[in-house]
Amino acid sequence: MNKNTPVQDFCTRRDEFGDIEIVAGKQHAPKMSLGFVNLQAFLEGRMAPRHRKHVSEILERFQCEDLEGLFRVSHAASLNDTYWVRSEAESLAWEDVSLYTNEFNDWIARAAFDGNFSGTSPSSPSPEFGTDGRFAKCWVRDADGIRLYKAGSDTFGTEPISEYLASQLAIAFCKDAVHYDLTFYHGKPASTCALFTSEEIGLVKCHALLHGMVQKSQTILVKDVLNLYERYGFGDFCRRMFIFDALCLNIDRHPGNFGMLFDTDTLQICAPAPLYDNNRSLLFDLDDDQLERADWFIQKAKPRIGKSFLSVGKGMLTDSLRKDLKKLQGFRFENHSRVFISDERLQILSRIVNRQIAALLEK
């Protein structure tokens, strides 16, 4: 289903090894989801990954470890789009399952964030069954709307600080970037941001859009991403994204954390998704003492896409972007009003960003 419109009939069966197979039936809609490969892959992609912290326990507790469990518990609803699943025996409507309008299950959100399991059954919808990424996180509905809270890793714990600071840089240089704040949630430091999708506007990740352009066995190249964005008239956004990553040494830009926005009714792409998910940047894995000797770490830092930060960043520069980058010289990070960040860290990171600016502008 897409909202209340039937899209595709299917049934499930188990093979001789007990694994679930999706058997496609009648297709009702003339067009499937953007980047659609096959129904099995599409539905499996709607389940939260087991490696995400606390997710494995949540899936096990609700017997939601396979697709049949996902359909039963969450109807495969997501905050990325308006697709969902219902059985022939159910009389549910989109309004009954929409994560955009229904209240969330608070204790599932708590369990997803910090592993505190205190409830017994999902009496209300939860987006946690379909949220991807590796870090502990949860969605919360408050008076201002739906917000994501994301914790740091057990190893470093500084990722929320990097996400907060990186968003200052993204807003200064990129035309459209998610604003991240810094807070404490259930006693833990967390970055937080507002949901940027809705019942009208969905998000399709870049890995889905690149499916037809890049063979599965091939490495995704920088030019593949740039060609994709230029096809839709978003070349400038793409260039800024890669330059931004070079400035903040973002080691985790991959095709699953950038993409495009689309009309959920017509499936027409309408804009690049705002820049988001930058928590593994700004040398998040270094403490304040290590930051003072950061040169070796900077030389070793590599992007997920492309050979090096400087080669990619320089390749993305145009005359216009070079002018904007010059205007960014002297950039300084601002401290948070309630969450402590050492002045030394802010000063060192500001110097590093300005050094990256100078290196990119160097001919």
CB 95 within 8 A of CB 77: no
Distance CA 169, CA 352 (A): 12
| H-only helix segments in 75-135 | 94-97, 106-114
Instruction: Give the predicted TM-score (pTM) of the model.
Output: 0.94
Taking phi over 0 as left and psi of -120 to 50 as alpha, with beta for the rest, 30 belongs to alpha
Q: Which of 242, 205, 212 is nearest to 226 (CA)?
A: 242
Cβ proximity of 249 and 301 under 8 Å = yes
Specify the pLDDT at position 106: 86
Residue 363 pLDDT: 82
Q: Where are the beta strands (DSSP E) in the chain?
A: 8-14, 20-27, 137-142, 145-151, 181-185, 188-194, 201-205, 259-263, 269-272
- Model confidence at 90: pLDDT above 70: yes
Instruction: Write the burial class of residue 11 (CB in 10 Å: 0-12 exposed, 13-18 middle, 19+ buried).
Output: exposed
Enumerate residues 6+ apart whose C-beta is below 8 A from 218.
Answer: none
- 89-95: long-range pairs with CB below 8 Å, 24+: 93/4, 94/1, 94/3, 94/4
CB 119 within 8 A of CB 107: yes
Average pLDDT over residues 309-331: 99
Tell me the per-residue pLDDT of 210-251, one tens digit each, with 9 for 90 and over: 976 665 557 899 999 999 999 999 999 999 999 999 999 999
CB-CB neighbours of 204 under 10 Å: 19
Q: What is the mean pLDDT of residues 174-186?
A: 96
Report the alpha-carbon distance of residue 361 to residue 318 in Å, rounded: 11
Class of domain 201-361: mainly alpha
56 sits in which H/E element = helix 55-61
∠ CA 278-99-170, nearest 5°, is 20
User: What is the domain partition of the chain in residue ranges?
Assistant: 201-361
